[in-house]
Amino acid sequence: MLAGDGSLDPQGPVAETMAGLWWLMLGLGVVVYAVFAFLLVRGLFRRRDATDSPPGGPAPKRFDWWVLGGGVVMPVVVLTVVLGGTVWALREVPSSAPQGALVVEIVGHQWWWEVRYPEEGITTANELHIPVGRPVAVELTSADVIHSFWVPALAGKLDALPDGTNTLVLEADEPGEHRSMCAEFCGLQHAEMGLIVVAEPTEQFASWVVNQQEQAEGPADEAGRRGEDVFVGTDCASCHTVRGTSADGTEGPDLTHVASRPTIGAGAAPNAPEDLTAWVTDPHTIKDGVLMPAADLDDEELEAVVAYLESLE
């Protein structure tokens, strides 16, 4: 678990507004529950007295203030407060890009997230880097089915649709890493469709952007260079892009800086050499049903490709 991972531990203004509404509703619910539990217990132990209906005869007609108070007045008051809080929260949470917002386009795929920064001209996958203290407008779409983008610590959830754009605004107050999971069932590996949000100080974010904008330095050693040749000469290049090479596929994640990411397979495994080797050999052993096929490489080629991918910092 990463720090500040839940919607009740909000790490930014949007999530704070929503958590505030939740606590208001919980508080009202507790008060109503306590009042009725008290009245119920009191009623159970109350002794019948002379004002109750006499044996054999009809009860005397009298106006029941309890019914009016508990059945009409209290629900009206409680629901009006909840409605007011909800309307307030809806107005507080921006639904379009505020002034000065960082715009990020996120595209849901079965089963990974494509993350594009149009202004900065960079594309990555399964990680969202954001600067602390600046609103971020996430423009959500999908390449296939409906997915749902949700970073509980920073904002509510919003669908990523194949036929329209939904804008989710979020903001982080403090540096930190937050987990995000697809929140709409989207097929076999819905549960392995994760994304890491890295909120970082402005300068650190700027230097991340600069590094992403550069082409990867590429392999410094013989094995890596051999790996690059194998990569661009095989099916890898028809699905993946590595800027600065002839690999320009768009079916799978952009791998220009894949070695700088913490996980592979949208959080299915850590980005470690042995996991990467297993993934390239046959990704289905890690993530069954994934659309990437097993690589048709011999041992020497496999080792070279992994060395190459590891060099893409």
Does position 106 interact with ligand CUA (CB under 6 A)? The reply is no
Q: Rounded to whole angstroms, how far apart are CA atoms 37 and 41?
A: 6
Does position 125 interact with ligand CUA (CB under 6 A)? The reply is no
Does position 147 interact with ligand CUA (CB under 6 A)? The reply is yes
Does position 184 interact with ligand CUA (CB under 6 A)? The reply is yes
3-state DSSP assignment of residue 147: strand
Q: Rounded to whole angstroms, how far apart are CA atoms 60 and 53?
A: 7
Stretch that binds ligand CUA, among 57-65, 182-190, 218-226, 291-299 (CB under 6 A): 182-190
DSSP 187-245: STTGGG-EEEEEEE-HHHHHHHHHHHHSPP----SHHHHHHHHHHHHSTHHHH-B-TTS
Stretch that binds ligand CUA, among 7-15, 185-193, 198-206, 254-262 (CB under 6 A): 185-193
Residue 100's nearest CA partner among 133, 146, 142 is 133
Q: Which of 172, 182, 195, 290 binds ligand CUA (CB under 6 A)?
A: 182
DSSP 96-122: SPPTTPEEEEEEEETTEEEEEETTTTE
Does position 129 interact with ligand CUA (CB under 6 A)? The reply is no
Q: Which residues pair with 244 in a beta bridge?
A: none
Does position 194 interact with ligand CUA (CB under 6 A)? The reply is no
Does position 185 interact with ligand CUA (CB under 6 A)? The reply is yes
Q: Which of 10, 13, 85, 108 binds ligand CUA (CB under 6 A)?
A: 108
Does position 190 interact with ligand CUA (CB under 6 A)? The reply is yes
CB of 93 to ligand CUA, least distance (A): 23
Q: Rounded to whole angstroms, how far apart are CA atoms 290 and 189?
A: 7
Q: Which of 115, 186, 266, 312 binds ligand CUA (CB under 6 A)?
A: 186
Residues forming contacts to ligand CUA in the complex (CB under 6 A) are 108, 111, 147, 182, 184-186, 190, 193
